Structures are given as structure tokens and as C-alpha cells.
Amino acid sequence: MRTLSTLFLLLLPLCALNCRNYFGNPYRYQAPRTVPVSTAELRVEPMNWWTGMKHNTVEILVQYPDLASYQVKLGASKGVKLIKTEKGDSPNYLFVTLEIAPGAPAQKVPIVFSKGNQSFTHEYPILLRSLGLKAQGVSTRDVIYLIMPDRFANGDPSNDNVPGMLDGLARDSLTGRHGGDIQGIMNHLNYIQDLGITAIWLNPELENDQRQGSYHGYAVTDHYRIDRRFGTNELYREFVRQCHDRNIKVVRDVVLNHIGENHYWMHDLPTRDWVNQWPTFTRTSYRAPTLIDPYASEADKKHFSDGWFDTSMPDLNQRNPHVANYLIQQAIWWVEYAGVDDFRIDTYTYSDQAFCSRWCQEISAEYPNMNMFGEVWEYGVTVQGYFADNQPAKHTGFDSNLPSVVDFQLCFAIQEALTRPQGWLEGSSKVYYTLAKDYYYENPYRNVTMLDNHDMTRFYTTVGEDFNKFKSGIAFLFTMRGIPQIYYATEILDTGNERPSHGNIRKDFPGGWPGDKVNKFTEAGRSPAENEAYNFTRTLIRYRTATPALQTGRLMQFVPVDDLYTYFRYDDAKTVMVTLNTSDKDKVLETKRFEERMKGFSRARNVVTGEVINDLSKLPVGKNQPLVLELMR
């Protein structure tokens, strides 16, 4: 025993020396020393996530020079797990997937990146969800006002030109930037609210740092940043809050199909198949029917879906699971961050449809009240309706999960009714036949209706600047089934043809810029005709908002006869009768054939003028004019 004790005492100093060499001290482990590195070039998207989300697994796209050579682990955190780390084809990206437990607290999660003796830590914020209004969804009770931010009002001239951004102010150019911004819209919320609007849809407000012609917003170069010429992320969030304070919802315009050529991805693609690649530039065929054509070739389908929308708009490959995750998370992020209420989905048909179905499903799972509506600019109800919720499943087993489509078919029909004489299929008959096909939709009331939009000839120009036809279109829009959308300045008779450029239909709202000679946001600044148009529109919007029969009530239409098209909107409380005279002659409408809807009513009130009509047997309707009556007993 004495011999062993002596040996132990002799070896103890050597053991202690070795322990210090390996551990720093004999009692505590010390990690190898590393050299900190600069994180100035680090990009993390999404930049944060939230607790309590159904979508509780977040895939973070991290970009940093030579990042793929780094190892990743989590520092101390509560209820957050590192599920996996994946490399892209570029050496500068990693996909880091975190799972956030339902009960995880708000915290900053240390994500540690290390390579040899180099390391850096990014503290990833997991935040508490806001309890404020968000994801309310638009419904038939709403009226949507579509605004192109660059062309509505300039509330902050200091951001007209931003150092380092490619496209500066050029107000004298139809396709240049004019300086409209989010502050300008906020400055005119009183005008919008007075008109009776309950939802605002902005054309995309995200960064479009393109060389030219990107004022419209559809060539995104940063998915997590408001274009600095429009404002900041914080200002956009404040805009949403102010809208909510006025009971106005906000709709974001989402672009899933493509990006701008100057997006940072295009300088360093995360994977080789991040965008759809072709040997030479290949533009889409714009032929959506190839997706439903039972005789279509695979080559035609690919040409439509994978072709680029334009030379400056690369086509995203949503079959890549990382691209799909990115686009889903980005949409959710803006709802949580800013309180957005709904989505309009640009060029919906051009994206991969399996991805679109998943995108809609994921958004609906997180926000059940959303009535996302897709742009389906096609020809024919069956083509348009194919992309509506549950409809394809009846025929193909595929469900788009898209709650609503923009009803281009009804738009084309009312335009034709007001510009062509009635025939068997033409003129007002086109409206009749279009509505007769509503059986094709699961719920046609969810469709978003319109007279025009930011890509079409202005409605007042379409009807030949005929004021009576203008009134007929407005009356139709706000008494018909669906969710009505009106394009900014339609209410003041704005004009413009899409040729020679779309800039002509996206003119500045007069009075929105310092120094404008007239201010049509005010009654004094508008002409008598413009005030009459504004008041007519305002009256019908407000009547619709106060009349459930025009929101959720049933619809009965009668076959057009002698250029007179009549329909009824009704519920148990109220019946509204609408007649459009689409001819150039004054007419007298004999009402006997409408007895099944008019029985029991002896009088009516003209919704626009307030006049009470005591004899309903024969109703005079002026040439090219509408008649909107609330029936009375």
C-alpha cells in the first residue's frame, strides 16, 4: 500500500500537467480557442420566427462566403431543436431547419457556425406572436380598392431617389418611377374611407431594384424588404395598423412565379435548379389551357409552366423543395410581421400547380379566414374555374386549394354588354351565359369581380367615355355576386389605354404630388362630371355595405330581352332589382315576367336618387343606363 501511495504521489504532477494541457485546468472542460469572424456579409431569411405557430418548423436560408464548409450547432435554447442542415450547390449557402416546440418561450437562439479555428454565432430571434388584427380575409361584405403605390400619391419626396438603387425618379416617363409611396397612401386614407372602401390591395410593395421599368413591383429583388422608394418595413406595418384602425383590411400582392433579374439569387443561385433553366432564353407560351387539355403535349405544358414570364423576370422552380419552403414561409412571415389580411396571387396559373396547391393549403391551415384570390387571366369559364377550390377534383382528382379567383370572365362579359348590341350570345347575353356557368364553381360568390385593373384599358375608356355606360358598369359591379374590386381613380373617370404602354393606364392620381395643379382628392378639385361619378360610386358602395342582400343574398337573373337585362339580389329581409338598358334608346321595361320575384311588392325606392316609385308595372330606363331599385311592400 505504501508503495502504491508513493507512486501515485510521484505521478500526480505529471497528470495535472497533461490535464492542463488538454483542458486548461484539471476540473473544467474548455473548448478549443477559435478566431471570431465578421458577419457583415451574413444574410438570414426569414430573419425571425414566432412561437405558437402551426407552421413550427422553419427552414432558414443562410448566405455567407464559403458557408457550406462550416459546421452548425445550437447553443443553449429552450424548446428549439436543430433538425437538419443541408448544403446547396453554391458554397455560400446553408439551409438550417429548426423545430420550435409548442410551448417554447420567446428567445434568441444561438446558431453557432464553426470551421477549423473560425466561428461565429448568429442569435436567431423567436418572438411572441402579436395579438393584433391579421389574416381577417376579404369576403362578399368587402369592397377592394386597388392601388399602384408609385402612381397614387407622393407623401415623402425624400425617398424619391435612393443612393445605390438602380432606377431613380422619372415622373415624365410613362414607365419610369413617379415617386408615389406608402406615406402618400396613408395621407389619403380619409378619401379612401369616405368612398366606402373596406379593403386596400396594393400592387407589390417589395424591393424591385431593377435597371428600369420596375415601378410596378412585379420584379422582386428582395422578398423581405419594402422598396425603400416606397418606405420601410416599419412604415408598411404602420400603414396596416392605421388601416385596421379604420376597419380597412390590407391585401398583399404575392408573386410566386418569378423574380427580378437583379435579385441577389441571380448573382449566386443557391442551387443550380433554383430557377427554370433553358439552353437559350425561352419565354412562356402564356397558354394555360395546356394544363387542362386532355390532348396537350408535355412539351407544351413545360413551355407554359417553365418558360420565363419576361426577359427580366426569371422563372422560379417551385419543384425545388427549398424554393417551395422559402415562398411559403415568406408569405406567412408578412402576415405575422405586418398584420396582412389576405393575399392576391399574381400570375397564378404559371407556377407549378402542385406547389400552388400546397402553398394555399399551408396558408389556409395557419389562417383559416383568408380568401386568397388568384389571378387567372384566361378565356372561358372552364379554364378559369379549373383553378378554383375543389373544382378540378371533380374531374381530375387534383384540388388547387385556392379559395377564389379573379373573375376575368365576368369582367369581359360586362365590358361586352356595354359595348356591343345584344345578340344570341353577344352583348348583354354574354353576361347571362357567363353567370349561367356559375355551377362550375364550388362557391362563385368568393370570386373577385372587377371592371378593369392595372393591366387593362381603363373602364371609362373601354366604354367610349360614355357617362351612362360608366354608371351601368358601376351599378353592375356593386350589385352583382362576388367580392367587388375597383381600380384607383375609376371613381373620378380616369382614362387610358394600355397601348403604347401600361404606364398610360397607371397615371398619377391628380393632387397626390406637391405642386399638382389640381387636387381631385377634394370635391373642389373635381369637375362636375367627376363629382357626379364619385358620388354615384360612393352611393352604391355604401348601399352595398349596408345591404346584406347584395353581399350574401341569392341571385336570380332573367334572359335579356330587347337589350334589357334584369336580375334580382334578395334575402328574407330585402329584395333589390337591377336593370341595365344596354341600347342607345330609352326603353320601358314591362315587369310582368318578373312576377316570381316581384310578387307582393307594390312600390320601390330608387337606390341612387331616393325617388319612390308607386307603379311597378312599367319602368322607364334611359338609354345605356342602369336602374337600381329596392322593392317595397
* Beta carbons of 576 and 550 less than 8 angstroms apart: yes
Please give the torsion angle defined by the CA atoms of residues 11, 12, 15 and 16, in that order, rounded to the nearest 10 degrees. Answer: -150
Taking the mean position of all CA atoms in its chain, how far away is CA 333?
Answer: 14
* Averaged confidence pLDDT in the chain: 93
CA distances from 230 to 149, 154, 185, 187 (A): 7, 9, 10, 13
pLDDT per residue as tens digits for the range 577-599: 999 999 999 999 999 999 999 99
Cα separation, 228 vs 184, in Å, equals: 14
CA dihedral 612→615→618→622, nearest 10 degrees, is -20
pLDDT at 477: 98
Q: What secondary structure letter does DSSP report for 438?
A: G
Q: What is the DSSP string of 33-74?
A: P-EE---TT-EEESS-EETT-SS-EEEEEEE-TTGGGSEEEE
pLDDT band, residue 314 (cuts 50/70/90)? very high
β-strand 71-74 against 93-100: which pairing, if any?
A: unpaired
User: 500 and 435 in contact (C-beta within 8 Å)?
Assistant: no
Cell, residue 332: 406567412
Measure the CA–CA gap between 479 and 374, rounded to whole angstroms. Answer: 22
**Residue 243 φ then ψ, to 5°:** -60, -45
The pLDDT value recorded for residue 500 is 84
SS3 8: helix
Which pLDDT belongs to residue 495? 97
pLDDT value, residue 177: 97
Is residue 1's pLDDT more than 60? Answer: no
Strands in 249-255's sheet, in edge-to-edge order, are: 404-405, 373-374, 342-346, 249-255, 199-202, 144-147, 483-487, 448-450
The string of pLDDT tens digits covering residues 596-629 is 999 999 999 999 999 999 999 999 999 999 999 9
Which grid cell is 53?
405557430
Sheet with 93-100, side-by-side order of all strands: 43-45, 57-63, 93-100, 80-87
User: What local confidence, expressed as pLDDT, does residue 36 receive?
Assistant: 61
More confident residue, 576 or 386: 576
Cell 393632387 locates to 511
Beta bridge partners of 252: 202, 343
Residue 7: its pLDDT value, please?
Answer: 36
- Please say if the pLDDT value at position 236 is more than 60: yes
Domains and their CATH numbers in the chain:
1-30 (no CATH), 35-127 (2.60.40.10), 144-253+447-546 (3.20.20.80), 256-368 (no CATH), 554-632 (2.60.40.1180)
pLDDT at 127 over 90: yes
Share of the chain above pLDDT 70, in %: 93
Residue 4 has pLDDT above 50, yes or no: no
What pLDDT is attached to residue 389?
A: 77
Quick: pLDDT tens for 339-377. 999 999 999 999 999 999 999 999 999 999 999 999 999
Q: How confident is the model at residue 398 (pLDDT cuts 50, 70, 90)?
A: confident
User: Phi, psi at residue 430, to the nearest 5°?
Assistant: -65, -40
pLDDT at 411 over 50: yes
Query: What positions carry a catalytic annotation?
Result: 346, 375
Q: What is the average per-residue pLDDT within 403-409?
A: 97
170 pLDDT more than 50:
yes
333 neighbors 224 (Cβ within 8 angstroms)? yes
The string of DSSP codes covering 472-488 is HHHHHHHHSSSEEEEET
Per the listing, cell 434568441 goes with 108
The pLDDT of residue 399 is 86
Q: Which three cell numbers stand for residue 620?
A: 322607364
**Contact status, residue 195 vs residue 537, Cβ threshold 8 Å:** yes
Question: Does residue 479 have a pLDDT over 60?
Answer: yes
Closest CA to 34 of 85, 77, 71: 71
Rounded to 10 degrees, the C-alpha dihedral 493/499/505/506 comes to -160
Q: Binning pLDDT at 50, 70 and 90, where does residue 15 land?
A: very low
Joined together, the cell numbers standing for residue 614 give: 308607386
Inter-CA distances, 70 with 60, 82, 92, 355, Å: 15, 15, 10, 31
Which of the 8 DSSP states describes residue 320? S
Q: What is the pLDDT of residues 20-62, one digit of tens each?
A: 333 333 333 334 455 666 778 999 999 999 999 999 999 999 9
Task: Specify which residues 494 forms β-bridges with.
Answer: none
Query: CA-to-CA distance for 183 and 188, rounded, in angstroms?
Result: 9
Nearest-CA neighbor of 72 among 114, 116, 33, 126?
Answer: 114
Per-residue confidence (pLDDT) for residue 10, from 0 to 100: 38
* pLDDT of 8: 36
